[in-house]
Amino acid sequence: MAHIHKVNGQDYVIEIFEDHYLQGWKLEKELLSKKSKFQQVDVVKTKSLGNMLLNDNLVMTSDRDEFAYHEMMAHVPLFTHPDPKNVLIIGGGDGGTAREVLRHKSVASCVMVEIDEVVVEACKEFIPTTSNELDNSRLELLIDDGVKYVAETNRKFDVVLVDSTDPIGPGAPLFGEEFYKNVKRLLNPKGVVVSQAESGWYLKENQQSLLSVLKNQFKNIGLYNYSNITYPGGLWSFSWASDELHPIHDFNERRVAESGLDFKYYNSKLHTAAFCLPQFYYNSIGEYINI
Amino acid sequence: MAHIHKVNGQDYVIEIFEDHYLQGWKLEKELLSKKSKFQQVDVVKTKSLGNMLLNDNLVMTSDRDEFAYHEMMAHVPLFTHPDPKNVLIIGGGDGGTAREVLRHKSVASCVMVEIDEVVVEACKEFIPTTSNELDNSRLELLIDDGVKYVAETNRKFDVVLVDSTDPIGPGAPLFGEEFYKNVKRLLNPKGVVVSQAESGWYLKENQQSLLSVLKNQFKNIGLYNYSNITYPGGLWSFSWASDELHPIHDFNERRVAESGLDFKYYNSKLHTAAFCLPQFYYNSIGEYINI
């Protein structure tokens, strides 16, 4: 069950973060509450953010702000890679990242490996904003363990997107050395892996740990920021890791204009600006990055 | 009194934002609760953010993240203006903006006009992080109405910083036409006014209204973003308004390096990057800005 608390006589769905901070959104309706093999999955309707998905009582996405995360995860690597044909998404069960990937005409095939079918089904039923491309014929959706998939597959990819939860519960191995060794093996030479990289305000140890793992495998390491309104602190990060491709030097603004795509969050100026970090990030993770 | 609520048996100080969203920080101690002539002023000690100032139960600043707001408000205009000597701060009672302004050696005089003495005294006693330069000899602190001050003074300024609360309560006139007509009158030709400009996620009407007022008075209008962890949504904005000075074309990175100052948030790359906005901002306020 989601955490519902009454404040001033009104029901709020509450996320408690690390035992010192909480956020709440006025509840209109509980839509789903289901225990999967991996986690507690809830969908609620809120007054201001539309429908919201929570895994283990942590907000994963909402109708109102999902575009920020999904556009920034997908378009930064896909507009940098000169010809991304094969894309792998690990996690991403809500479908939002796949939706943005599939907007790129060059993408012939997108494989998405989500461990928890309950998340996919919940989003298909209640969050069409993110899940409306999950039946796209270029998408191959596998309900499977992403760690196992990257260890076993022989397919090669141009872009890998690690659209994971936090490094607790089912998401934990997706932050590990073994996982990224395998990701490297299945990337083409011009390949890039972009990963959900937590918060520089609140979770800098997670960022340091992830970047040190990436640094052991790849030449070009970076961190870029985006802001949404549901994750604690608002400002969150993606990591960039590649051997050849550079997200700024190899990026050509013209490709964005020529794509004809329109965006709610991403744009070509922000593509580069997102890699300019507040100073305290450099103090925290400067030693791991070279972008 | 601050809103204190028990959640899972723990006390949290709660901010309720626009009747649909709330945030809470685990409370360690209530330090001050005082009704001033203008507003309810509270200071609490929180578990994760240190001491926190709330006016009318809205978080104004905290030890942990105050630097983001204050550095970005002060250094973007002060490193763009070629020789800022006279600075005016309207509001800013916690002292953090004045502290950052006074780090610039070129600044001979900083006038700060704060309407609420209770805020100043509260921060002097409980938030030394922000208030520790309020006795600086280059600072002239006036407890007065900023709207009245700009209407009456004949002094001229290079940089005006409108460090206001939201456009409700005592902060409301600081978002109006009359106020900015007077600000324009007291700016030198190369002058610039930077103002607290609310949230693009949650308060776009406030941004539109402020920018349309500025556009009636000034030639160069812009919006730049910063992120803190206490304001709803995390990502908040400052407005830029000037007739001659341009925050990007007239900015010279070398001046930042030569200043010898160190920062926790601001840096010269971020100076420019902060003006690159998520696309939905351009859809909302693009017609008002030309930077």
Tell which of A17, A64, A227, A230 to mutate to test the B interface (max B CBs under 10 Å): A227
Give phi and psi for B257, each to the nearest 5: -60, -45
Å between A275 CA and nearest CA of chain B: 9
Chain A residues close to B235, C-beta within 8 Å: 227, 229, 234-235
Please tell me the predicted confidence (pLDDT) of residue A158.
98
Residue A80 and residue A134 in one domain: yes
pLDDT band of residue A209 (cuts 50, 70, 90) is very high
Catalytic one of B42, B94, B158, B163? B163
| Closest-CA residue of chain A to B232 | A229
- Strand pairing class (A58-62; A86-91): unpaired
The reply to whether B50 and B75 lie within a common domain is no
CB contact at 8 A, A95 and A163 = no
Q: Hey, is A131 helix, strand or coil?
A: helix
Q: Which residues of B touch A23 (CB under 8 A)?
A: 21-24
pLDDT at A37: 96
Q: Say yes or no: A71 and A206 in one domain.
A: yes
**Residue A167 pLDDT class (50, 70, 90 cuts):** confident
Q: Which residues are CB-contacts of A165 (< 8 A; sequence separation ≥ 6)?
A: A55, A58, A60, A91, A171, A196
Kindly state whether residues A30 and A142 are assigned to the same domain. Answer: no
Instruction: Determine how many CB atoms are found less than 10 A away from the CB of residue A111.
Output: 19
User: In the beta sheet, which residues pair with residue A24?
Assistant: A14, B22
CA dist B126 and A113 (Å) reads: 51
The phi, psi pair for A124, rounded to 5°, reads: -60, -40
CA dist., res. A255 & res. B32, Å (int): 56
pLDDT of chain B, 291 residues: tens digit per residue: 889 999 989 999 999 999 999 999 999 999 999 999 999 999 999 999 999 999 999 999 999 999 999 999 999 999 999 999 999 999 999 999 999 999 999 999 999 999 999 999 999 999 999 999 999 999 999 999 999 999 999 999 999 999 998 887 777 888 899 999 999 999 999 999 999 999 999 999 999 999 999 999 999 999 999 999 999 999 999 999 999 999 999 999 999 999 999 999 999 999 999 999 999 999 999 999 999
Q: How far is CA B95 from CA B102, B119, B136, B174, B232, in A?
A: 11, 10, 11, 18, 22
Question: Residue A163 maps to which CATH number?
Answer: 3.40.50.150
Of B32, B59, B86, which residue sits at a domain end?
B59
pLDDT at position A273 is: 98
- CATH number, domain of A32, equals 2.30.140.10
Q: From CA A257, how far away is CA A274, in angstroms rounded?
A: 18
Let me know: does A204 contact A214? Beta carbons within 8 Å. Answer: no
Which of B226, B274, B279 is closest, CB to CB, to A265?
B279
Chain A residue at shortest CA distance from B19: A26
Question: What is the pLDDT at residue A165?
Answer: 85
- pLDDT, residue B82, reads 96
Q: Are residues B46 and B71 in the same domain?
A: no
Neighbours of A103 (CB within 10 A): 17
The CA-based dihedral angle spanning residues B25, B10, A62, B198, taken in that order and rounded to the nearest 10 degrees: -20
Judgement on whether residues A184 and A257 belong to the same structural domain of the protein: yes
Contact yes or no for A235 and B235 at CB 8 A: yes
pLDDT attached to residue B68: 98
Query: In the prediction, which pLDDT does A175 show?
Result: 87
Q: What angle do CA A181, A40, A231 make, to 5 degrees?
A: 70
How much of chain A exceeds pLDDT 90, in percent? 95
Work out the minimum CA distance from A137 to partner chain B, whole angstroms: 29
Give contacts of A273 with chain B, Cβ < 8 Å.
272-274, 276
Can you give the length of chain A in residues?
Answer: 291
Q: Which of A5, A251, A276 to mutate to test the interface with B (most CBs of B within 10 A)?
A: A276
Summarize pLDDT for A30-39 with one digit per residue, the tens. Answer: 999 999 999 9
The residue in chain B having the minimum alpha-carbon distance to the alpha carbon of residue A47 is B20
Query: Rounded to a whole number, what is the distance in angstroms from the first to the last CA of chain B?
Result: 42
Task: Assess whether A199 and A258 both reside in one domain.
Answer: yes
Residue A163: active-site member: yes
Contact A127, A49 (CB under 8 A): no
Report the phi/psi class of residue B126: left, alpha or beta, with left for phi > 0 and alpha for psi in -120 to 50.
alpha
Which of chain A's residues have a Cβ under 8 Å away from the Cβ of B267? 276, 278-279, 282
Kindly state whether residues B38 and B154 are assigned to the same domain.
no
Whether A169 shows a pLDDT value over 80: the answer reads no
Q: Which residues pair with A187 in a beta bridge?
A: A157
Instruction: Tell me the per-residue pLDDT of A15-62, one tens digit each, with 9 for 90 and over.
Output: 999 999 999 999 999 999 999 999 999 999 999 999 999 999 999 999
Give the mean model confidence (pLDDT) for residues A250-265.
97
Domain of residue A141 covers 66-288
> CB contacts < 8 Å between A and B, how many?
134
Helical residues (DSSP H) of chain B, grouped into ranges: 66-78, 96-101, 117-126, 128-131, 146-152, 177-185, 204-215, 253-259, 268-273, 279-285
Residues A54, A156 within the same domain: no
At residue A168, φ and ψ (nearest 5 deg) are -135, 155
Average of per-residue pLDDT values in chain A: 96
B chain contacts of residue A46, beta-carbon cutoff 8 Å: 20
Looking only at the bridges linking them, the beta strands covering A157-163 and A86-91 are parallel
Asked if the Cβ–Cβ distance from B22 to A23 is below 8 Å, we say yes
Distance, CA of B63 to CA of B43 (rounded, Å)? 11
Q: Which residue has the tokens 């490709």?
A: A255
Global pTM value: 0.97
Structure tokens at A265: 């969050």
Contact B131, B53 (CB under 8 A): no
| Tally of domains within chain B | 2
Residues B198 and B143 in one domain: yes
Residues of B in contact with A22 (CB under 8 A): 7, 12, 22-24
Q: Looking at the structure, do residues A222 and A86 belong to the same domain, yes or no?
A: yes
Whether residue B147 sits in one domain with residue B49: no
Please indicate whether, in this complex, the C-beta atoms of A22 and B7 are within 8 angstroms of each other.
yes
CB contact under 8 A, B280 and A272: no
Structure-token pair, residue B166: 């939201």
Chain A residue whose CA is closest to B9:
A19
Among B22, B267, B270, select the one facing A12 at the smallest CB separation.
B22
